[in-house]
Amino acid sequence: MNGSAKRRKIPSPKVAVHLMRNEYRAGCFSISNATREPDTVRVNIAGLPGGANPAYLTVHEVQWTGTKTGIPVAAALPEAPKQDGGYVIEVPAGMTRQVWLTFHPQAVDAGTHTGEIVVASAQHGEQRFPVEMRVYPFEFPARPTLHFGGWDYSNGSGSRGVTLDNMAQFIAHCREHYVDSPWATSAVMPYGEYDATGAMTAARSTEGAARVTSTKRTSTNRVTGQRARWGTRRSSGPAAGSTKATFCPLTASK
């Protein structure tokens, strides 16, 4: 870079979401710790409707998880623990921790609401940056016309991380987020039988679905544990310097 070139101005951090009432939207930011020691950071949200840390806003500490390919990803979204009125975020030495904010306003007036996110560390002081929530004057439908499903597999004893110990929480979480077309194994509904032309010769039985549903209801009384929320965001390593809050592009989750 020659001496006459101007340095690019880095925009101030800001988390902004646009959404309807009863809709889920999320924004995020990252906290980098370039020191040699782990840091405990406290996060608070102030100025939005509902007072400090309003009930319709959930704070998640993004966790790294393993994969079958051996490459870790920042994908798990457990809710951050709350202590003394704020959310506690642990940032390992030399790492970046992403903080995910899930918004789900249901009784908030339409309009643009502004507040601030306060990130405080005993070692490195306090930083503040704005948060903006624009609520449109209509509501997200209780039952969307667009069907939604994915790698659920919540029948039987579960699979892909779903077990009898967390199945009730998992199903409740899917229902909260409008999942109405869950996937399942052929135990719920077999493929049926077909001739050489592809015409069905024996209808698929739905008896398995009724049997699985009955078994699932019986097992829910044994379920305990804390709900975990999942996403697909990835964190990156920090640049040189002390612990600081850095901007992460707006993301959306459903």
pLDDT tens profile 57-84 = 999 999 988 888 889 888 889 999 998 8
Residue 8 — pLDDT band, cuts 50, 70, 90?
low
Q: Is the pLDDT of residue 101 over 80?
A: yes
- Residue 32 φ then ψ, to 5°: -105, 140
Q: What pLDDT is attached to residue 139?
A: 93
Amino acid at 53: N
**CATH code, residues 15-139+229-247:** 2.60.40.10
Kindly list the domain boundaries of the chain, sorted by start residue. Answer: 15-139+229-247
* 16-30, 109-123, 138-152: segment of lowest average pLDDT: 138-152
Percent of the chain with pLDDT over 90: 40
Q: Which of 140, 95, 43 is nearest to 236 (CA)?
A: 95
Q: Is the pLDDT of residue 103 over 90?
A: yes
Q: pLDDT tens, 154-206?
A: 877 777 778 888 888 888 888 888 888 888 877 777 777 889 998 988 877 66
Q: Judge if pTM exceeds 0.85.
A: no
Q: pLDDT tens, 20-56?
A: 999 999 999 999 998 999 999 999 999 999 999 999 9
Q: How confident is the prediction for the chain on average, in pLDDT?
A: 78
- Residue 172 φ then ψ, to 5°: -60, -40
Hunting for tokens 């739905």 — which residue is that? 206
Mean pLDDT of 136-161: 84
Q: pLDDT tens, 150-168?
A: 777 887 777 777 888 888 8
Q: What pLDDT is attached to residue 214?
A: 44
Residue 254 · residue 48 · CB < 8 Å:
no
Percent of the chain with pLDDT over 70: 76
